Structure 1
Amino acid sequence: MSLKETTVMMTRYRAWANARTYEVVLDAPEEQVTRERKTHFRSIAYTLNHVYVIDDIFRAHLTGTRHNYTSRNTADCPSVPKLWQKQQALDAWYVDYAEGVSEAALGEVITFDFVDGGQGAMTRAEMLLHLVTHSQYHRGFVGDMLNQIPIKPIPTDLPVYLRKFRMGNG
């Protein structure tokens, strides 16, 4: 599998996994989704908002545009339905980007400033793959918080995705 094929598959996987996570979160009682918990990003909603913010920051890096974020989350968190609308649009943007970017461009190094200081440099492919692992990491926190409600999260593992889309079941 080429680097391009890998990035396309992984951005599609990420969009699928985000959809499965939001499916459960949107069905959960709102007071549980926004309830402050002993976790780094305070709540399920703010954790999902953090994922969106980082995704949006890296979109700006990939497109060479400026973003207006000054931290890795925002002071106010959109409602989860509004956040899901924004995340779906961004997930679709990333899938389209991965499908349209050339193999050569995936190897280009982009320098950028981190919102909390310092400079970074990553290839386009590294950025896309980082976003896949970053969102998976935080979906794990969301799953833990859902279990505390208790609501069972839907599995979002890569093998489950591959089974569904390669074998037609899952």
Structure 2
Amino acid sequence: MSIKHFRQLADYNHWANKRIYAAALSMPDEQYRRATGVFFGSLHGTLNHLLLTDRVWLKRLTGEGEHPNRLDAILFEDRNALARARMAEDARLARVIGGYSEADLAASVSYRTMSGAPQQQALSDILLHLFNHQTHHRGHAHACCSIVTGKEPPPLDLLMFQRGMPAPELAL
């Protein structure tokens, strides 16, 4: 993949997050926090996990930022605060990706796993994982939305983004 593709994925990530957060912010709190059987329990738990893991990877890649040492940690109880932090992290991710070149993608990155084990991988592989992980758990969030509301959630397909479907503005 080229840097152009990763930049597109960063933009898509932000677009899809705005769409899922618009749905999350519009539902009653009881629905938002309802246990649905997904891996991180609820829509709230899933959205927290996605923010947390992006912070973990950006800390590994840039050496900057904070993150807890548990993948199920709740960073924000308040969903508006979570949404603001998510939008800020999306902007940070886009800036980081925007600063990479084609040559950077082949560079090896050394880091430690959450358990402390040393690892080394190509930056391109890490970025593929980061965006795939986002899509995977955003699918869980999407399922949570349909389970708790009984309605079809907003489409998150990459093709919809590429075709120019607008993302809502979030009133935070």
Cα distance between partner residues in 1 of 2:78 and 2:86: 12
Does structure 1 residue 105 correspond to structure 2 residue 104? yes
Partner SS for 1:164: coil
Give the Å deviation of 1:93: 0.8
Mapped partners of 2:27, 2:116: distance in 1: 36
* Distance in 2 between residues matched to 1:69 and 1:108, nearest whole Å: 27
Whole-angstrom distance in 1 between the partners of 2:71 and 2:163: 34
Corresponding position of 2:80: 81
Which of 151-160 and 122-131 deviates more?
122-131
Residue 40 of structure 2 corresponds to 41
The aligned runs of 1:124-139 (5 Å cut-off) are: 124-139=123-138
Q: Residue 112 of structure 1: CA displacement?
A: 1.4
CA shift for structure 1 position 126 = 2.2
SS in 2 for 1:146: helix
- Cα RMSD for the two superposed structures: 2.0
Please name the residue that 1:32 is paired with.
Answer: 31
Separation of aligned partners in 2, 1:49 and 1:152: 22
Letter matched to residue 152 of structure 1: E
Q: How far did 1:108 drift?
A: 1.3
Report the CA distance shift for 1:76/1:105 in structure 2 as closer, same or farther (over 3 A): closer
Cα drift, residue 79 of structure 1: 1.5
Check 1:113–1:66 CA distance in 2 against 1; reply closer, same or farther (3 A cut).
Answer: farther
Matched, 1:147 2:131: no
Alpha-carbon distance change, 90 to 26 in structure 1, aligned in 2, over 3 angstroms = same
Amino acid at match of 1:71: R
Shift of 1:145: 1.4
> Which deviates the most, 68-77 or 27-36?
68-77
User: Shift in Å at residue 128 of structure 1?
Assistant: 2.2
2 CA distance for matches of 1:24 and 1:51?
16
- Residues 1:156 and 2:156 aligned together: yes
When structure 1 is superposed on structure 2, of 85-94 and 75-84 the one drifting more is 75-84
Say if 1:69 and 1:115, in contact at 8 Å, map to a contact too.
Answer: no
Secondary structure, in 3 states, of the residue corresponding to 1:56?
helix
Q: What displacement does 1:152 show?
A: 1.9
Q: Structure 1-normalised TM-score?
A: 0.88
Quote how far apart the aligned CAs of 1:123 are. 2.2
Please say if residues 40 and 46 of structure 2, whose CA atoms lie closer than 8 Å, have aligned partners that are also in contact: yes
Calculate the TM-score normalised by the size of structure 2.
0.87
Distance 1:96 1:65, change over 3 A: closer
Aligned length: 165
Tell me how far 1:49 sits from its aligned partner.
0.3
